[in-house]
Amino acid sequence: MIQPGNVVLLYHSERMKYLVQMPKMGRFSTHRGEIDFQNIIGKEYGDSIETHLGCRFYLLKPTLADMAIKVKRTTTIVYPKDAGMMLLQAAVFPGARVIEVGSGSGALTLILANFVRPSGKVYSYERRSEFSVNAQANVARYGLEGFCEFFVCDPEKDGFGQAAIDAVFLDVPEPWVLVNPAHKALKGGFSLVAIVPTAEQLRKLVSCLELEGFSRIRIMETLERNMLVRPSGTRPADRMVGHTIYMVFAHKVNRE
């Protein structure tokens, strides 16, 4: 049963969908009419509701991808198509202790928090306090704040203050400056993941990883294309989500 505070995806179509945290009362306006929140309270996920103009919306349980895409943004975000690959290629599991550098808007933070719960922790570092405040608010919106600790500092200078970490995620303009602190924090054999937007950054990062003692260095990108299924025929959508970032994966090996 939907109650105040629950997050609901109001879905009419892919072009008309809204992620809403339910208040006790009020109205939500769309260009197809208004929705009275009091008419949603008490309904079940999967039910539907009509606007005052008769437009039907379904009350759906939002996915983690929905929540990540709809965070309040102060920075660019890690998109679900990339986050999924990052999770699969790194050791992120219930109970894992994970470092994230570059809290940004908190999209990746809340994804990581969802996967390390109920006994794990995400240690999220951000140099800019306004970004950290926004990321914390986005994580708290979905009830995941208990699985995160936020730090406003520069880990290049201050270090992480953590050891025996299961995975490190770097989302900063110059990730190579954090390769050494990441190596110190990681467990032997576990993963570092760094993301960069340009090929020029890749060369410097990979060189630093090799010098620092990382192995199994791999670079990937993901491309996302939807399909249109219609009575007249099935074909790829006209638009696709192409290059967003390069993902660099590496494993720590112990020094002899």
For the stretch 19-47, pLDDT in tens is 999 998 899 999 999 999 999 999 999 99
pLDDT for position 91: 87
For the stretch 91-103, pLDDT in tens is 899 999 999 999 9
Q: Is the pLDDT of residue 158 over 80?
A: yes
Q: What is the pTM of this model?
A: 0.92
Residue 33 assigned as binding residue: no
**Which residue ranges does the chain devote to CATH 3.10.330.20?**
7-62
Residue 171 assigned as binding residue: yes
pLDDT for position 246: 97
C-alpha 122/C-alpha 109 separation (Å) is 7
- Kindly state the tokens that stand for 204: 């410097």
Cβ-based neighbours of 101, under 8 Å, separated by 6 or more: 124, 125, 155, 168, 169, 170, 171, 172, 175, 178
Q: Average the pLDDT over 164-187 and give the result.
A: 97
For the stretch 120-142, pLDDT in tens is 999 999 999 999 999 999 999 99
C-alpha 34/C-alpha 49 separation (Å) is 11
**Which residue ranges does the chain devote to CATH 3.40.50.150?**
66-252
Closest of 132, 20, 113 to residue 75, by C-alpha: 132
Residue 107 assigned as binding residue: yes
pLDDT for position 255: 76
Q: Could you please report the per-residue DSSP string of 169-204?
A: EE-SS-GGGGHHHHHHHEEEEEEEEEEESSHHHHHH
pLDDT for position 12: 96
Residue 126 assigned as binding residue: yes
Pick the CATH number of 7-62 from 3.10.330.20, 3.30.750.24, 3.10.20.30, 3.50.50.60: 3.10.330.20
Residue 213 assigned as binding residue: no
Residue 170 assigned as binding residue: no
For the stretch 205-245, pLDDT in tens is 999 999 999 999 999 999 999 999 999 999 998 888 889 99
pLDDT for position 156: 93
Cβ(64)–Cβ(226) below 8 Å: no
| Top CATH class, 66-252 | alpha beta
Confidence of residue 88 (pLDDT cuts 50, 70, 90): very high
